[in-house]
């Protein structure tokens, strides 16, 4: 019997590789957000260039890897502020910020209030105040 030639309509090999690196980076950030010093370190771990990773990540998720990592950190911080009595500086450190001021500024920019205000509003029964 002769060979059947069926055209392959799936993604090309380069596209599979791009998706692989984007997913691999996202997964690594999701699980190691608190230990990462930044996207440069992630790219070293993955063994790919920062420029390549930024491009494939943005093409896959429509957000920069830096912004994604920051949002993961802030989401975890919000959860910790809600569910624990940890000091704000400890929360900042636990989610991967090396300085409290950077954490406060980023949190305020993304959530709309400072981490301390967020916790006070939660304790007083106000709704989630994310922008």
Supply the pLDDT for residue 12: 56
Number of DSSP helices (H) and strands (E) in the chain, helices first: 7, 0
Q: How far apart are CA 89 and CA 106, in angstroms?
A: 13
Q: Identify which has the larger pLDDT, 125 or 87.
A: 87
For 59-95, write each residue's pLDDT tens digit: 999 999 999 999 999 999 999 999 999 999 999 999 9
Q: Which residue ranges form the domains of the chain, and what is each CATH number? A: 13-123 (1.10.10.60)
Supply the pLDDT for residue 45: 93
Supply the pLDDT for residue 127: 59
> 48 falls in which pLDDT band (50, 70, 90)?
very high
- Which residues touch 33 (CB under 8 Å, ≥6 apart)? 69, 72, 73, 76, 95, 96
Round the average pLDDT of the chain to a whole number and report it.
88
Supply the pLDDT for residue 4: 47
Q: How far apart are CA 1 and CA 114, in angstroms?
A: 72
> 129 falls in which pLDDT band (50, 70, 90)?
low
pTM: 0.83
Supply the pLDDT for residue 14: 72
């Amino acid at each position: 019997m002769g060979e059947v030639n069926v055209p392959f309509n799936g993604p090309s090999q380069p596209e599979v590789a791009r998706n692989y690196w984007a997913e691999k980076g996202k997964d690594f950030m999701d699980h190691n957000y608190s230990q990462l010093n930044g996207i440069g370190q992630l790219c070293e771990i993955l063994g790919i260039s920062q420029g390549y990773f930024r491009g494939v990540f943005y093409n896959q998720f429509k957000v920069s890897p830096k912004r994604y990592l920051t949002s993961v950190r802030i989401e975890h911080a919000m959860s910790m502020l809600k569910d624990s009595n940890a000091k704000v500086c400890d929360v900042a450190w636990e989610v991967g910020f090396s300085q409290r001021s950077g954490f406060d500024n980023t949190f305020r920019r993304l959530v709309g209030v400072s981490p301390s205000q967020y916790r006070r509003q939660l304790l007083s029964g106000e709704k989630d105040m994310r922008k």
